[in-house]
Chains A and B, each alone.
Chain A
Amino acid sequence: MSAGMDLAATIVLNGLTLAALYFIVASGFSLIFGLMRVVNMAHGAMYLVAGYVGYAVFEPLYDRDVWYAWYVGVAAGVAFAAVFGAFVQVVLLGWMQGQELRQALVTIGLSIIVADQLLAIYGGTPRQFFAPDAIFGSTQVPGVGGYPTFRLVQIGIALAVGIGLWLLLNRTKLGMMIRAGVDDRQMLGACGVNVPLVGVAVFALGSALAGLGGVVGATAQPLAMGADGRFLLISLVVVIVGGMGSVTGTALGAVLIGLAEQIGQALFPTYSVILTFVIMVAVLALRPQGILGRA
């Protein structure tokens, strides 16, 4: 295989692995928006907080060289984000249901407070998780050569998240309630379903996904201040392109944005950011509800 093909294959694979991370984070964002109609501007903060909390749990274990350090870090980060998300919904957002602007502003404020608190507690030093040896080295990929194993694992995690979400939404009672809630909240409430409680569950789940993204992302690239804004923006772009509230749409959006970013970086690094937004503008102009969004 020629060097050019080789490189092209690597870049496509990079795009897909990046897309996997974007999907994990954005699916939570999309889920929350789909049911709650809340544009959760604190979604990036969930990513950040899970990364730091997970790291605080991970580091002492890693120092003691125990093999499960990373897994515990993941669990801690995800659990913390889920509890934090549920807390936000119960204490802050629940009683202003339907006031979209107010909720957006509250979540923006929250994300600023969270980021500053994290800076005060953990300082500005970048952190990075080290995955267990089994998934840390490099793997031979046909047509690409040695490739970081963890980035392949990222695809696996994203697939698991995607399939899990699909099963949850389409095969469980909770999923049925969520889908019904997306269509008509009031009717769902009239049927005797405790809609606010479903809301808390959805918020916790969405935040947990941001948290999972936080730990997985902080294993693939350094975690530092500013990651919250970056991943919030990416989540927004991904769901706008893919279509709000649709799991497959989010996956498609993530793949498009991930590939665009990596191909852009290889071909015209300085302007690669523009490519992402060109895609977004094109989608908004031609299909405002997103590629797979419902009108």
Chain B
Amino acid sequence: MTIQITRRAALLGGAGLAAGGLAMPAIAQNAPIRLGGLTTLEGPFATGGQDAYRCVQMELERINNTIGGRRIEFIRESSNAQADVALARARKLIEQDNVDIILGPLSGAEGIALRDYSRTLTGKSIVNGSSGASDTTLRNPSPNFFRFSTDGTQWMAGLGRHIHGLGIREVAITAGDYAFPYAQVFGFNLEFCRLGGKVTQYWAPLGTTDFTSQIAQINRSNAGAVIVVHGGTDGLAFMTQYAQAGGSKPLVGGSIMADQTMLSARGPHRRVMMGMLSGGPIADIIDDPTWTDFVARYRRRWANEGGFASPSIHGVNYVTNLYGILAGLRAVNGDLSGNQAAFQRAMAAAELTAPTGASVKLDHNRQAISDIFLNRIEERGGNAVVVAFDRARAVNQTLGMPEAQFLQLGSPSRDNAGCVA
């Protein structure tokens, strides 16, 4: 068998040589599709980045790294959640590794940087990894940037209303001072303030690991709950220090707080996180057969190689976006010719089912419209797990508001956090 292939390859090579330029398109068609992965294997989201690659690798192995008769070559790059680093690595993927498509990045500001970079490219596509800043696709979108995952604002759909429904009228929000938390806080405030709720915001730069002074202020305030929109090590530091300071207000998490990246780390934070509410695109336990199957495959594949008890939010977002790429490639049978025009059209029209069972389609900005889960952290069999107890279907980027009206609210930022009555 090996000999046969070698011989065929030799013949093909010979034919190629003989035919010269004429045979070139055929060879290009059979050349592997180069898919560049960009995630954070360094910095505060290293754990999430690692899991993103686990999930992507698993799904590529599942299709035997082949689509439309073409092999997919996956080239891994890493950044540290900083926009400039992500941009440099993306350039490296495009210019030196000569990739056709980039799958990534993971973090908010990186997404905006890559969106801008994608606009300068011809015949290349960048498909989001897990970054969730809303402006990446909402304002000034790039025709070469696709996002099959939902953004940070969407992830908070229903949460503000739910908290208000619990009788809580004033909350303290502690959040990272960068694009993704802006989007999350904006989504929460939009509902909570509209219902008459009052918020006090505490911002801290990404990479802050000492929150004690902020916690001292929060514990002395009248807030009825604390909304924690941090992630990675920052989130873990906040939760640990909150527990150590004897914090007792109910906690509500941003979407990357209630995640296995946080729950699998040991420490006193687990105690205060029990019962925490959150909103987001995934939960550990979702009553959906697609998700049950995905989780089972994930556990089989990674249980002995450092995988989590359940796939992380970043893993699921990367896979959802990978599905978008694969749907596009399948539709054009792996043909990326014509500066990827047909492929990009196919991606824009793709409708798919995310690993969570949520249905995904893109809006006119190539941004996902998909399902959002309301979650609670519960103890199951001695482990802390995130359980979905409600599901909002087909949430769009403006949370159902007419787009013009939503755009008028301005871009989410520290000074424009969506709290309009």
Contacts and interface: CB of A to CB of B under 8 A. Distances in A.
Interface of A: 3, 6-7, 10-11, 14, 18, 119, 123-128, 130, 136, 138, 146-148, 150-151, 220-222, 224-226, 230, 261-263, 265-266, 269-270, 272-273
A154 B236 CA distance: 20
B364 interface: no
B216 A7 contact: yes
Nearest to A264: B213
Interface string B37-59: 00001111011011000000000
Contacts, number: 109
B217 interface: yes
19 contacts: A6-B220, A10-B216, A124-B47, A124-B50, A130-B267, A136-B244, A138-B245, A147-B245, A148-B212, A148-B241, A150-B244, A222-B240, A225-B46, A226-B42, A265-B210, A266-B214, A269-B203, A270-B414, A273-B205
Interface of B: 41-44, 46-47, 49-50, 80, 177, 202-205, 207-210, 212-214, 216-217, 220, 232-233, 236-237, 240-241, 244-246, 261, 264-268, 306, 414
B209 A124 contact: no
A261 B213 CA distance: 10
B43 A226 contact: yes
Return the 9 tightest CB-CB contacts between A and B, nearest first. A124-B46, A10-B216, A221-B209, A124-B47, A148-B244, A224-B233, A14-B212, A266-B213, A11-B213
B287 to A, nearest CB: 29
A11 B213 CA distance: 5
Given A125-B47, A222-B265, 19 more contacts: A3-B220, A7-B217, A123-B47, A126-B265, A128-B236, A128-B240, A130-B268, A138-B244, A221-B237, A222-B209, A222-B236, A225-B43, A225-B46, A226-B44, A226-B80, A226-B207, A226-B233, A265-B210, A265-B213
Highest count of chain B CB atoms <10 Å: which of A119, A123, A124, A263: A124
Given A123-B306, A222-B265, A269 B214 contact: yes
Contact of A270 (B205, B212, B241): B205
If over half of A's interface residues share one DSSP class (helix, strand or loop), that class is named, otherwise mixed; here it is: helix
Contacts of B261: 125
Nearest to A268: B203
A14 B177 contact: no
Nearest to B203: A269
A147 B219 CA distance: 12
A263 to B, nearest CB: 8
B107 to A, nearest CB: 14
B210 A261 contact: yes
B243 to A, nearest CB: 10
Nearest to A128: B267
Highest count of chain B CB atoms <10 Å: which of A148, A220, A221: A221
Contacts of B240: 128, 221-222
Given A7-B216, A138-B246, A266-B214, A125 B265 contact: yes
B242 to A, nearest CB: 11
Contacts of B268: 130
A7 B220 contact: yes
A62 to B, nearest CB: 9
A263 B266 CA distance: 30
B28 to A, nearest CB: 36
